[in-house]
Chain A
Amino acid sequence: MITRWLSGRLARSLDDRLRVAPVLRRALAKVFPDHWSFMFGEIALYSFVVLVLTGVFLTLFFEPSTADTVYSGAYAPLDGSRTSAAYASTVRLSFDVRAGLLMRQTHHWSALLFVGAIVLHLLRVFFTGAYRRPREINWLIGVTMLALALFNGFTGYSIPDDLLSGTGLRILYSVTQSIPLVGEWLVFLAAGGEFPTAELVPRMFVSHVLLVPAVLAALIAAHLGILLRQKHSQFPGPGRTENNVVGSRFWPSYTVRTLALFAWVLAVAFALGGLAQINPVWIYGPFDPAQATSPAQPDWYVAWGDGALRLFPAVEFRVFGRLVPSPFLPGVVFGGLTFAGLYLWPFLERRRRRRRDRLAHQLLDPPRAHPARIGFGVGVLALFAVLLAAAADDILARILRLPVLHVLSILRVLALALPVSAGVVAYLVARALRAGGGRGIGELTRSDVRSAMRFGSRAGGVSTGVGDPSPVATAEPAAGSHDAARIELWRDPDGLWRWRYRDAVVVLAASQAYRSRPEAERAAATAYGDLPAREVAPSGGRTGEPAAMRERAGRIAGRAGGYLALAAVALWRGRRARRRPPP
C-alpha cells in the first residue's frame, strides 16, 4: 500500500516535469520474444557490468608501472623480491587486500563470460539470419564490440607484467612487427621502443580501463538504442508476421526475468571468482625476457590466433628484397580475414542471392532454412575448434603421450579436412531437415537424406517445412468458420480500446490499450494486414492473461509486507517483555 502510494507520487512528480507518461506507457508495453537464444546478448551486457564494478575496485590498488619495487607482504615465496610495481601490486591486491583476490578472479572470470556470451550471441544472430536488413548496423557494431572485447581482454591479462602474459605480449608485438612496410613503426609507436619498454604497461592500462571501456559503453548504448528503435526480430510461429512481435511484455514479465538473469550472472561470476583459481600470476613469476613458461596457453578467446601461429607452416618470403616474416600470414592475414569476413558477411550474402534481397526481415530464419549458410558457418566453427585445440598442442601431446610434432601434423590435417567435412555434413543435414519437415535430427528418415543428396531436382530446396505458414495466408479460405484467424476489438469499461488476435492455435492480446477505435484498428491492421476485425463484448480481466494472473504480483508483495509486519510486532512485544520487570 505504502509502496504503491510512494511510487505513484514519484511518478506524478516526474511526469509533471518531464511528461514521461506517454513514452513510459509504450516502453512498459514493449514486447520481447520468448526464446532462450535471445538471452546471450543480455548475459554479455551483465558481464560487462560485473567487469566495470570489479574493475573499478581493482584500479584502486593496481599500480600501472614497471618501476623496480620490492614486494613485501603476506605471500611468503615472493616476500622481499624485486619486481615491477605492476607485478608487486597485483600480488599485493591478491594476498594483502581483503577480498582483493575475489574481485580479481571474478573480474577475470567475467571477462571470459563476456567474450563467451558475445560469441554465442553472434552465432545465434548468424545462424538465424538476424543480421539481415534492417539490422546490418547492429551487426557491424556487434562485430566491433567483439574485436574490442578481445583486445581489452588481452591488455587486461597483460598488465600484471607476469611471465606468462609477458610472453604473450611479446608474441603480439612480433606479430604486429611482421606487417610489411608499417609493422616496425606501428609497434615502436605503440610500445615506445623495442620490447620490453617501460611505457607498455601504463599505456595498456589507460587503454584497458578508460579508452576501450568508454568506446564499449558508447557502442552498447547504440546497440540497445537501435534495438529499441527496430524492435526485436522473432522466429516464425502462429500469429507471427513480418509486422509484429509476439512474446512477453517488458513490464512486468520481462523486467523480472532480466533482473533474474543479471543476478544469475553475478552469482556465477562470484562463485567462479571465489572457488576456481584463475591466472595465478604469483606462480608464473614476474616477466623476464630470458625466461618462458611451458606449457604456455593464452585465454581461450585469443587462443585461436595462437593456434593459427602454431599450425601454419614456416613460410617467409621477400618482397623487393624486404622480409615478410612467418607470423604475418597466420597472425595478421588470418586474423584480418576473420574480422573482414565477419564485417562483410551480411553484404556478401545479400549479393549472393539470385534476386538481390532488399526486403526488411523481422522473421528469423530457422537455421535449416539456409543450408549454404549453416554449412559455411559450421565449417568455419570447425576450423576455429581445431585452432583452439592447436593452441594446446603441447598439453595434448602430454595427455596422448605423443611427440608434440606428431600432434602438430595430425592437427594440420584436421585443420584442412574437418572444416570441409563438417560443413558438407551440416549442409546436407539442413537440406534433409528442410525437405523432410521433421522437427529434429532424430526424426530424419532415409528418404529425407536421399532427397537432400538429389541436387538436379529442387527437392531439397522447395518446401521450407518449418514453422507454420503465416496466419494471414491461412485466414483467407477459412474466413467465417469458427477457427479462422481474426481480430477481436472491444471497449473496456474505462473507455479504452483493446484488441486481440485469435486463430485455431493461439490468442494474442495487444500489449497496450488505445484511446480510440480507429487507433486500435490501425495497430491491428499494421500487425496483421487485412484480417477480418469485429467488435466483441469486453471480457472479464485483461485478455491474454488468465484471470488470476493480474493479482498475483500484488499478492506476493502483500504477503511480504505481512511477514514484515508480523516480525515488527514480534520484535516490539519481545522488547516490551524484556522491559517488564520479572514477576
Chain B
Amino acid sequence: MTGRGTPDRRERVSSAVVAAAFGVSALGAAGFAAVYATGGQTQLEGLTLAVAFAGIAVGLSVWARRLLPTGGYVEEHEPFDSPPADLRLAAEALTGPESPVRRRGLLAMLGLALGALAGAALFPLRSLLPFDRQRPARALRTTPWAAGVRLVRADGTPVRPADVPDGTVLTVFPQGHRSRGDVPAFAVRLDPARFTAPPPGGTVAGVVVYSLLCTHAGCPVALYLQGTARVLCPCHQSTFDLLAGARPVAGPAARPLPGLPITVDVEGYLVATGDFTAPPGAGFWSLR
C-alpha cells in the first residue's frame, strides 16, 4: 500500500471517517430491509433509508473535501465566434448549387403540404370533447334543475320547508342528479322582514334557495355566518349577503349567487319551478 510511510494524521482521521460513514450506510440499508421484512413501518423505513443515503453522502462529502484537491485548475474557454473559413464552408455546404434550399418553388409547395397537414392534424383534437355532449356555452348555462324537480338532501330524501333548520344551511340537489358539478344548492331559513332586496328565487315560508357555487371560481360557499346571514367561500373568501339577494359584499366575486325559484308540490315537498336565475359557478365569455 502506497503512502503508508507518510504520517498524515488528518488524512488518516478523514479516511477513517469516510470508511465509518460507508459502514453506517450499509447498516442503514440492512435496517431498511429488516424493517420491510418484518412488516414495514413508514417512519422507520424512511429513517433507515435516509441513514443509508446520508452515510454515503457524508462519506463522499468528506472524501471530496479532505482527500481530493479542491480548486486550483484552469481550463481555457474558446470564444464562440467560428473561424471565418468554417463559416464560409458551412454556408456553402448549406446553400451550394446542389442544396435543396435553392429550389424555391418546390419548397413553397412542400410548405403548403406541411401546413395543410398541420391544420388537418388539429381536427382530431375536437374529439377531446365527445360529440354527443353539449357544447360549452349551452352546458355551462343550463343545469338539470327544472320546473317540478324535487329538492333532495345528499342521501336522496326530499325536503319539506319545515325540514330546513334554523341557524344553518341545508345542501340540496335536484332529484336524480346528486354528483353533477353544477347542481349543488343550499336552502336556508331567513326572516323575510330583514330582506333588503327580494331573493331572486322567491321564498316559501321563509326558505330561500341559492346555488352553492361561488361566482368567482366555483368553490362551494360552505361557510355560513348565521348572525349576518352571509355565506363565505373557503377558497378565496368571497362573501355573499343572503339578505340582499346574495349580493357579493367582500372578496373577489363580482356577481350574486344565482337563486333557485321554488314552490311546494302537492305532497308538501320543495320543488324547483325552473333553472337557476343565472348560470351557476364561475363566469364565462358567453355569459351575457
A interface with B by C-beta (< 8 Å): 29-31, 34, 98-99, 101-102, 105-106, 134, 167, 170-171, 173-175, 177-181, 183-185, 187-190, 192-196, 230-231, 239, 242-249, 252-253, 256-257, 259-261, 263-264, 266-268, 270-275, 288-296, 306, 309-310, 312-316, 321-327, 330, 360, 362, 393-394, 404-405, 408, 500-501, 506-512, 523-524, 526-527, 544-546, 548-549, 551-556, 558-560, 562-563
Contacts and interface: CB of A to CB of B under 8 A. Distances in A.
A290 to B, nearest CB: 4
Given A263-B53, A289-B179, A195 B218 contact: yes
Interface in B1-22: 1-4, 6, 8, 11, 15, 18-19
Interface string B43-74: 11111011111101101110110011111111
A33 to B, nearest CB: 9
B57 A267 contact: yes
Chain B interface SS verdict (over half): loop
B288 A192 contact: no
Contacts of B286: 184, 322-323
Contacts of B60: 256-257, 259-260, 263
B73 A267 contact: no
The 3 closest A-B pairs by CB, nearest first: A274-B46, A325-B283, A174-B282
B104 interface: no
Given A252-B68, A323-B287, A274 B50 contact: yes
A559 B19 contact: yes
Contact of A556 (B18, B69, B212): B18
5 contacts: A260-B59, A275-B47, A310-B252, A314-B248, A559-B15
Given A170-B181, A510-B73, 19 more contacts: A167-B235, A171-B218, A171-B219, A174-B217, A175-B217, A184-B137, A192-B130, A194-B180, A256-B68, A259-B56, A264-B57, A275-B46, A326-B283, A405-B237, A408-B250, A524-B76, A527-B75, A544-B69, A548-B8
A184 B132 CA distance: 17
A169 B125 CA distance: 22
Interface stretch (B77-85, B198-206, B269-277): B77-85
B32 to A, nearest CB: 9
A181 B285 contact: yes
A267 B282 contact: no
Interface in B34-48: 36, 39-40, 42-47
A524 B78 CA distance: 11
Interface of B: 1-4, 6, 8, 11, 15, 18-19, 36, 39-40, 42-47, 49-54, 56-57, 59-61, 63-64, 67-80, 125-126, 128-130, 133-137, 139-140, 154, 171, 173, 179-182, 184, 212, 216-220, 222-223, 233-239, 248, 250-255, 281-288
B184 A290 contact: yes
Contacts of A309: 216-217, 236, 252
Contacts of A527: 74-77
Nearest to B133: A193
Contact of A170 (B51, B56, B139, B217): B217
A34 B70 contact: yes
Contacts of A243: 76-79
A223 B178 CA distance: 49
